[in-house]
């Protein structure tokens, strides 16, 4: 599955209506792959697909296992040769547990439902189809914050730490199958993920630069692709966790 040509590939990308998902979808499409983008908002998906003739869309809420199972059925019938799945759907909110009043538990759970449970549902539903291929890739999009958390976004950070752990386990379980398990680990990237914030995060990486680096890692066949500052956090979390925790959360005290 490594290499720069994807003319025979069929790629499904969740969270494909914006940000990293849309950027990866565009690049795979340009390289000749048949691309299906999935997400909750039809208008966003259509806006991306309209720029790439032949790109398909699927409206789905990955947090709903019934919708995910139905999606797997449709994709399996339409694209039985699906060989690349990119679990990219994710949301991020700022939650202050130091506040005097408790938060809405449904709102707290929504982030877990999309970022972690949704990834599990999609993986579970599509693995049988991927395993039918002679060679396939399952790509999970993690985060540098899965290694060093941003205290202001505690649920997001925790879900991405869980995504990393799950990906490591999944890679080991599938080591003797035809499915290669990859984790792309972004730094802060300039995307709509942060549209709820008052200002763009500092040192955010341009989306185009991130996609270029991520694709280079995929072309090289690397199982973990930590891009830019995410690689610094991955290493720093092992070398000096307290120091890097303070660096990431500088100014929150």
Domain 10-248 has CATH 3.40.50.720: yes
Rounded CA gap, 121 and 102, in Å?
29
Q: Give the model confidence (pLDDT) of 60-114 as tens digits.
A: 999 999 999 999 999 999 999 999 999 999 999 999 999 989 999 999 999 999 9
pTM (two decimals): 0.92
* CA dist list (Å): 174 to 101, 110, 165, 179, 185: 44, 29, 14, 6, 20
- Per-residue pLDDT, averaged over 134-144, amounts to 98
pLDDT reading at 2 higher than 80: no
* CA dist list (Å): 90 to 148, 173, 220, 224, 238: 18, 24, 26, 19, 25
The predicted pLDDT at position 194 comes to: 47
- Catalytic positions are 156
Question: Looking at residue 252, what DSSP letter applies?
Answer: -
Q: For the chain, which residues make up each domain, given as ranges?
A: 10-248
Rounded CA gap, 126 and 140, in Å?
13
**Cα dihedral sign, 73-79-83-84:** negative
Q: Give the model confidence (pLDDT) of 177-207 as tens digits.
A: 999 999 999 999 987 654 455 545 567 899 9
């Amino acid at each position: 599955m490594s290499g720069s040509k994807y003319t025979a590939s069929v790629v499904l990308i969740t969270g494909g209506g914006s940000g990293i998902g849309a950027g990866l979808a565009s690049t795979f499409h340009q390289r000749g792959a048949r691309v299906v983008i999935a997400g909750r908002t039809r208008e966003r998906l259509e806006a991306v697909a309209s720029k790439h003739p032949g790109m398909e869309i699927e409206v789905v809420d990955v947090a709903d296992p019934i919708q995910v199972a139905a999606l797997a059925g449709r994709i399996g019938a339409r694209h039985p040769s699906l060989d690349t799945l990119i679990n990219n759907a994710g949301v991020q909110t700022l939650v202050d547990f130091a506040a005097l009043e408790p938060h809405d538990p449904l709102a707290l759970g929504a982030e877990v439902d999309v970022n972690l449970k949704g990834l599990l549902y999609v993986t579970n539903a599509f693995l049988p189809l991927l395993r039918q291929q002679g060679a396939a890739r399952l790509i999970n999009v993690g985060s540098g914050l899965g290694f060093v958390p941003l205290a202001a976004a505690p649920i997001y950070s925790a879900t991405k730490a869980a995504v990393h752990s799950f990906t490591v386990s999944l890679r080991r379980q599938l080591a003797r199958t035809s499915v290669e398990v990859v984790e792309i680990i972004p730094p802060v990237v300039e995307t709509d993920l942060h549209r709820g914030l008052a200002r763009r995060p500092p040192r955010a990486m341009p989306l185009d630069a991130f996609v270029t680096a991520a694709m280079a890692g995929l072309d090289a066949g690397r199982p973990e692709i930590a891009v830019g500052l995410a690689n610094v956090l991955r290493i720093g979390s092992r070398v000096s966790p307290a120091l890097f925790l303070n660096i990431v959360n500088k100014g929150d005290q």
